[in-house]
Amino acid sequence: MTAKIFKNFTFNPKNDILSGLTVALALVPEAVAFAFVAGIDPLVGLYGAFMMGIVTAMFGGRPGMISGATGAMAVVMVHMIQKGNEVGLTLDMPIENLGLQWLFITLLLVGAIQIAAGVLRLGKFVRLIPHPVMMGFVNGLAIVIFLSQLGLFKETIAGEKQWLQGSALWIMLALVGLTMAIMYFLPKLTKKLPSALIAIIAVAAITIFGGVEASTVGSFIRDGGGSGLEGGLPTFQAQIFTLFDTISGHLGLIISTAFLLAAVGLIESLMTLNLVDEITETRGSGNRECVAQGGANILNGLFGGMGGCAMIGQSIINVNSGGRGRLSGIVAAVALLCFVLFGAPLIEQIPIAALVGVMFMVVIGTFAWSSFRIISKIPLPDAIVLITVSAVTVWQDLAIAVIAGVIMSALVFAWKNATMIRARKRMKEDGTKVYEIWGPLFFGSTTNFNAKFDAKNDPDSVEIDFIESKVSDHSGMEAIRNLTNKYLELGKKIKLTHLSPECTSLLLKADPEFESLIERSIDDPRYYVVTDALDQEV
């Protein structure tokens, strides 16, 4: 059992350790920024990143994938946190930061939902996401990552955020450019050193020892209202169990937020898993990742973290830096905690520009540039789906974009297949009219299927041959049943041939009188019909 849990622990310890340290440095401003988005203390975001990272690194379904506090979940939880704080002020004994305590309660439910999704093996459905949706997802996410970094080109003046100007702007751009240049050219000289980590160290050395004035991690935290990185170990939040009565009257908000957080977290995690699978040419376990994500969020609720999910930017940094084993994620999480416990003064001196440069290189590596080349060569519906998913990811969020893309792709697929149903007609010597059905019979094609027949004007003997047709769902079965009843009501004879044994069984289960209408033969097709009844039998 232990061997299974720690399978793929490490392939190259040096690469895993160095890439983990690089990821940990990049996690700091991300976790702090997303905590500010959610309206909570930066340490809550850092604790959340640590607990998400350590649990999913050890027990998740994708070695080398990084989890932490994410913006996608932060924007979902902010409304509930604000509402909770408002409620706390109205109580007889005002409770400070009640919204944060509500978040911890909600994360317990989020974790339970995600674990249930893994136990029910729902993670496999990520494999059904169409390629245009996947390309739209990575493009949209690359744009979101890029736009999120632009906020770091601002400074706080008189309590207001303003764009950098003059020498401050040029210094920021120069340091970002230097970071990107090191990351681009260093791998051409040697691949033994993680370019992102070397770039961060080099730029930090310039600002610390060269006397260059630049925004740092520490100044970024203080500008956002935080006091600094330094903190203690996460502590058990026993008080949340005494505050369950405060959600009375607001249970709907808690439950709806929990389901939305669970959905956003799973979709982003499973999409990231799928992307890392493609990059590494290996395959992770979506169901195992669901369980690990759920366990990590429950731990966040119990020990005061903001929760989270997989992070595509940090995952790509890790993989591109050589981190392919579980050790890389463990090192990243432990290093992040060490920064909070022991290294806060040093980490706070790292220039924001270095971390922005790293993320800009992630944007370049994430964006599917090939989409520009193929956009005019793929079917128009696929191109529309790709563009729509990219736009909705930027405009709304990842979960809505992916769901919208899958629905659009499914509708396009259903429409195309609905128009493929055909019926060849011929007459036998004995006067029987034969309908040879070609194409899939399912909910989208039943209308076209029924339109092929002329029950009133057909001869007294009719045969429907399904040798080249596949009955795909319960709607198709009902269409056959209704059609045969129509012929029988007109007093005509009808035969159904070349139905699969599964279709035959279900027809007879619905109406045993069909036994006399179905003609069996040794060349009947064999396939399974997607119905609840058959799922229960299988």
Bigger pLDDT: 98 or 365?
A: 98
Q: For residue 226, give the DSSP letter.
A: -
Q: How far apart are CA 28 and CA 355, in angstroms?
A: 9
Q: 45-59, 145-159, 404-418: which has the minimum mean pLDDT?
A: 145-159
Burial of 31 (0-12, 13-18, 19+ CB in 10 A): buried
**CA–CA separation, 332 and 323 (whole Å):** 10
Q: What is the pLDDT of residue 5?
A: 53
Instruction: Tell me the C-alpha distance between 194 and 464, whole Å.
Output: 67
Report whether pLDDT(531) > 70: no
pTM for the model: 0.73
Q: Where are the domains of the chain?
A: 12-389, 420-537
Residue 526: the pLDDT is: 53
pLDDT of residue 148: 78
Share above pLDDT 90 across residues of the chain, in percent, rounded to a whole number? 32
Give the Cα separation of 353 and 201 in Å (integer). Answer: 12
**pLDDT surpassing 80 at residue 24:** yes
**Which is higher by pLDDT, 532 or 104?**
104
Reference 434, options 519, 512, 491; nearest CA is 519
Helix (H, G, I), strand (E, B) or coil at 93: coil
- What is the DSSP secondary structure assignment for residue 124, as one 8-state letter? G
Report the phi/psi class of residue 8: left, alpha or beta, with left for phi > 0 and alpha for psi in -120 to 50. Answer: left
CATH architecture assignment, domain 420-537: 2-Layer Sandwich (3.30)
The band of 267, judged by pLDDT with boundaries at 50, 70 and 90, is confident
Radius of gyration of the chain (CA): 29
Tell me which amino acid residue 94 is.
P
pLDDT at 259 over 70: yes
pLDDT single digits (tens) 385-407: 999 988 988 887 777 888 888 88
Q: What mean pLDDT comes out for the span 334-340?
A: 93
Looking at residue 528, what is its pLDDT? 46
Confidence of residue 215 (pLDDT cuts 50, 70, 90): confident
Confidence of residue 71 (pLDDT cuts 50, 70, 90): confident
Average pLDDT, stretch 253-266? 91
Q: Given 3-state DSSP classes, what are the helix, strand and coil percentages for the chain, each rounded to the nearest 5? A: 65, 10, 25
Range 69-85 average pLDDT: 86
Q: Do 59 and 289 form a contact (C-beta atoms < 8 A)? A: no
User: Is the distance from CB of 138 to CB of 398 less than 8 angstroms?
Assistant: no
